Chain A
Amino acid sequence: MNIIGTPRRRVDGRAKVTGQTRFADDVMLPRMAHCKLLRSTMPHARIRRIDVSRALAHPGVYLALTGRDFPTTYGILPVSQDEHALAVDHVRFVGDPVAAIIARDELTAFEALDLVDVDYEPLRTFGDPADSLAYPEPRIHDYGDAGNIHKIVSLQFGDIDQAFADADEVFEDTFFYQGNTHLPIEQHAAVAAKDPDGKLVLWSSTQTPHYVHRALARALDMPAAHIRVIATPNGGGFGGKSDPFNHEVVISRAALILDRPVKICLTREEVFYCHRGRHPVLMQFKTGVKRDGTITGLHVRTLLDGGAYGSYGVASTFYTGALQTVTYHIPTYHFQGCRVFTNKPPCGPKRGHGTPQSRFGQEIQLDKIAEKLTIDPAELRLRIVERPDTLTANYLRVGTIGLADCIRRVTRAADWGNKHGKLPAGRGVGLACSSYLSGAGLPIYWNDMPHSGVQLKLDRSGGVAVFCGATEIGQGSDDVLVGCVAEVLGIPPLDIRAVTGDTDLTPVDLGSYSSRVTLMMGNAAIQAAERARDLLADAVSKKLGVPKDRLVFADGRVFDTENGSVGISFAEAVCLAEAMFGTIGTTGSYTPPRSAAKFKGGGVGPSPTYSYSAAIVEVEVDPSTGWVHVPRVWIAHDIGRSLNPTLVRGQVEGSVYMALGEALMEEQTFRRLPPRLSHALVHKFPSMLEYKSPTTLDMPEVFTELVENPDPRGPFGAKEVGQGPLLPVMPAVANAVYDAIGVRIDEVPITPEKIVKALDAKAAGKAPRYGPARFPDIDWPAPLHVPPPWEGGDGKAVIAPNAERPERPAAERHASAAERHPSPAGDRS
């Protein structure tokens, strides 16, 4: 390996440090008009009337659009096509777009927004999941499992009652994970234009150009072949740019109507309202254990506050219950999840997508279990780590597992044995672990095609162009793509040009989400490069008279491994191959292995392989103020193989950073304005000043350990690193706070106020804890019974032992039949 595994400058490094990376808002075209969106000031209302005539009369305004111009809905998941580019007659949160103004410049468009007259009829506002559970009417959407319940699921793998009966101890705890947002430094921006052929081009800061492409074809009722989506490098994504967005659809239509380019750049406040971030989740963990720490069964309940639209929510719901079994051996598992609609910005995928919340609950509960059983928390986890090459109770196929190594490495590095329970009062350490997908095993819409495709074009000059739909969001996907090709062809990375994220020019890659790019695109790139190498080897072998299997591609040459002086340059090899075969172009593609899960809901969780992390956080807590200082974090990550260690370290440290923000300060929360000011439900602090995120002064020292045990399913053995290392940090902070001051903070963010309250409770002789009191009563549907593999199951659901027929969801009975709409076909989740 010459390139793989060596720390090096990323291929787009020079562009980034010279300011030449062309982000969406840097796209400036002649005759370009500017768009602004008028957003609802009401959290929940009918639109009685909307009048844009005054706005249209404003000098410099070219066009005004309303919901009437966008009759067709769209959405990221086939089961939740619930968004209009502009609201037709129903607004669902403060910030829901209702009209668009396109004008000669941004200021003119801003001014004209004030001239749009909207007459709202207010509806009951649902600010809290409890409201959504209690009141099925008025419905925020006319689809979903019942009333204002978007999705409610119940999956049972084995006899959970028996598992608890078999346990020596049963623990039951409730946790709350507050929502937070991605906060990419780049605000969402996009430019749409009609190309000279009359077709549509959209440049956008999107993580998922392929899905935007599909959504535009649907929402604009245009042939997809006449739409080109170019994902500009994202100025940070973290999941926040994974949905097709209103503004992308609006400016596309505007550009087609006006026949001139139209740009939009959201304000920071609008970015907060676009959201699609971390779901607030209330959860209950019930775990049965033997005295030695072995888990007999786990029952997880989650209640997700989904906000106003579906977004990825159905997947998010299942993700709150998917990966517990991938981390630890859990022979019997019961998951119940419920996502409700509320009149707040829609939640969706943020780094870790649905798994950080339940990871937080599980890892704190394990800390409590360890204490009760008087087992060291690290030792407890080592005893229960899931076994390699296992099919879990919920039919996730796990291959290599580096978690035990991670735990050993991180405890050694942090000197855990001499610190946990042994530091002076006010100081403590906490440990937690996690696992994450290396790419979702199923696509968002059902199809049998590859998840990632790569094309190579070899030039007579020796230059190579690589084409792939993958999207550079800062994580280094271009570098992975080029690195894999460079390694196989034995040429310098900078001799390769990457063309990515362009639906006209590049084969489909599903997008930068679910930590899928390195594994899937990497494998596709290797396949394409190996096919090209094979052609070149044929030609060189013939020319030099050296057997093909003795040829080596390295250092820009192709040579005889037994006699290095017999060889030719890579460029000459390309010429020989071109003379022999014609123009040299190859393709590669990647499709994940089939999932073992055959039950409804089994589409969320499968992955070609899983990464593992373990983290130890050290804290210093001031008991008088509740202030938490984090001086040091140790983290070990099972990466399989590190392709470019500089980038890998950056992903690990960036994850730790974002996790500390979630653990200690970040929260996306809302308040009601006073009744005299409309009583609207608004974001508490939609600004970067008041939405607290860690600065240079807050960031601790991070000690990163990489566990490298190449995974046969990964490119050169690599697994993901972009999301997994975030997961253990939040619960490790909570566990460290307990070690420091003896109180449990069972929710994030762990603010000084909560710590002081917990200390006050402790001093008053009450439970030394701050967190939710109880999980609400929810009318769960009858569970889908899926016998685990060790009970002879085949991954399919069976009829429940005591039920003659599968019951329809209990909650559904609340909804009147007239309001229920048939759920759209293609529910893969």
Chain B
Amino acid sequence: MPQNAHLALTVNGEPTEVAFAPYKTLLEVLREDLNLCGTKHGCELGECGACAVLLDGHPVLSCLVLGVDCAGRDVLTVEGLVADGRLHPLQETFADLGAAQCGYCTPGFLVTAKALLDEHANPSREEIKEALSGCLCRCTGYQQIFEAVEAAVVAGSAKASNTRSAKAPAGRSIP
């Protein structure tokens, strides 16, 4: 058995040190060594997008990234979307508008959509489709996902006035 790699990185804003077998992918390090099971896997071959995380702000497929390549870098997973005990607007709208059915692909969609919104404050439907085209969902038919991203844009821009999930109909939100 090869010697463990030992490195320091930032995970969801926290400086983190981790030791792991050097052949492990970032996906495996997150799930198995950091107990961050929110990131999922559907193929481990870079085909489905379920394992997407943000690496220095950009979406990557964590099953194709080696853990040892992440020293000193900044990783954001679905667990890091909640800030100050509050769901990210995308999380609110995904939950409210049916964008998560089985929920297995959802973490990958959420972080990929976050990267999109971080770059484009108000993306068109076509831009949303393009940005999410690497993530497969077998449940929803994608339409409610597109709508949730669009609603999060509205909610995000309304955030200043402290209105959450403005476009989301009904449903109580739990912080």
Chain A residues with CB under 8 Å of chain B are: 6-10, 12-23, 25-26, 28, 107, 182-187, 233-238, 267-268, 473-476, 492, 494, 646-647, 649-650, 653-658, 687-689, 693, 695-697, 699, 701-702
Contacts and interface: CB of A to CB of B under 8 A. Distances in A.
Contact of A492 (B31, B47, B172): B172
B35 to A, nearest CB: 7
Nearest to B50: A185
A653 B140 contact: yes
Complex A-B, nearest 4 residue pairs according to Cβ-Cβ distance, in ascending order: A19-B38, A474-B102, A235-B104, A16-B103
Interface string B129-172: 11011011111111111100000000000000000000001111
21 contacts: A13-B100, A18-B82, A19-B39, A19-B106, A28-B32, A185-B102, A187-B43, A233-B102, A235-B42, A235-B102, A235-B104, A236-B102, A474-B103, A492-B172, A650-B139, A657-B141, A687-B47, A688-B48, A696-B146, A697-B129, A699-B129
A17 B91 contact: yes
Nearest to B38: A19
B77 A19 contact: yes
A186 B172 CA distance: 28
Nearest to B128: A696
A696 B133 contact: yes
Nearest to A693: B136
A474 B138 CA distance: 10
B103 A183 contact: no
A371 B50 CA distance: 46
A184 to B, nearest CB: 6
Contacts of A15: 103
Given A658-B138, A696-B142, A186 B102 contact: yes
A23 B45 CA distance: 20
A18 to B, nearest CB: 6
A184 B137 CA distance: 8
Contacts of B42: 185-187, 235, 268, 688
A71 B59 CA distance: 49
B67 interface: no
B45 to A, nearest CB: 6
Contacts of A236: 102, 104, 138-139
Nearest to B129: A696
Given A19-B77, A653-B143, A696-B129, 7 more contacts: A8-B170, A16-B103, A186-B40, A235-B103, A474-B102, A474-B103, A697-B129
Given A16-B100, A650-B98, A26 B37 contact: yes
B139 A474 contact: yes
B140 A654 contact: yes
B87 A14 contact: yes
A17 B133 CA distance: 19
A17 B104 CA distance: 9
A702 B142 CA distance: 10
A654 B145 CA distance: 11
Nearest to A186: B104
Contact of B141 (A8, A184, A235, A702): A702
B78 interface: yes
A15 B107 CA distance: 11
A85 B139 CA distance: 30
A17 B87 contact: yes
B95 interface: yes
Contacts of A26: 31, 37
B74 interface: no
A13 B129 contact: no
A23 B40 contact: yes
Given A17-B91, A184-B138, A702 B143 contact: yes
A21 B144 contact: no
Interface string B103-135: 111110010000000000000000011101101
Given A9-B173, A26-B37, A494-B174, A688 B43 contact: yes
A14 B174 contact: yes
B170 A7 contact: yes
B97 interface: yes
A268 B100 CA distance: 22
B95 A13 contact: yes
Contacts of A476: 101
A590 B132 CA distance: 42
A60 B90 CA distance: 44
Interface string B43-83: 11101101000000000000000000000000001110110
Contacts of B81: 18
A716 to B, nearest CB: 17
Given A17-B91, A186-B40, A654 B139 contact: yes
Given A233-B103, A268-B44, A183 B138 contact: yes
A647 B104 CA distance: 16
B143 A699 contact: yes
Contacts of A473: 102
Nearest to B145: A696
A687 B102 contact: no
A615 B130 CA distance: 27
Contact of A697 (B40, B106, B133): B133
Contacts of B77: 19
A661 B58 CA distance: 30
B42 to A, nearest CB: 4
Nearest to B36: A19
Contacts of B23: 107
Contacts of A699: 129, 141-143
A25 B91 CA distance: 23
Contact of B45 (A17, A234, A688, A696): A688
Contact of B132 (A186, A237, A696): A696
A268 B141 contact: no
Q: Which of A28, A235, A693, A699 has the most CB of B within 10 A?
A: A235
B173 A185 contact: no
A701 B106 CA distance: 21
Contact of B96 (A9, A237, A654, A657): A9
A653 B102 contact: no
B26 to A, nearest CB: 16
Given A185-B104, A473-B102, A646-B98, A19 B133 contact: no
Interface in B6-30: 21, 23
A597 to B, nearest CB: 34
A495 to B, nearest CB: 11
Given A16-B100, A689-B47, A695 B140 contact: no
Contact of A185 (B45, B91, B98, B136): B136
A397 B172 CA distance: 41
A17 B82 CA distance: 10
B37 A654 contact: no
Nearest to A184: B138
A187 B43 CA distance: 8
Nearest to B96: A9
Contacts of A650: 98, 101, 139-141, 144
Contacts of A696: 128-130, 132-133, 135, 142, 145-146
Nearest to A493: B172
Contacts of B82: 18
Q: Which of B94, B100, B172 has the most CB of A within 10 A?
A: B100
A182 B141 CA distance: 14
A474 B101 contact: yes
A238 B138 contact: yes
Nearest to B134: A695
A451 to B, nearest CB: 23
A695 B133 CA distance: 6
Contact of A234 (B40, B50, B102, B145): B102
B95 A185 contact: no
Contacts of A183: 138
Contact of A688 (B31, B47, B79): B47
A657 B142 contact: yes
A657 B140 contact: yes
Q: Which of B95, B139, B144 has the most CB of A within 10 A?
A: B139
A642 to B, nearest CB: 12
B138 A693 contact: yes
B68 to A, nearest CB: 16
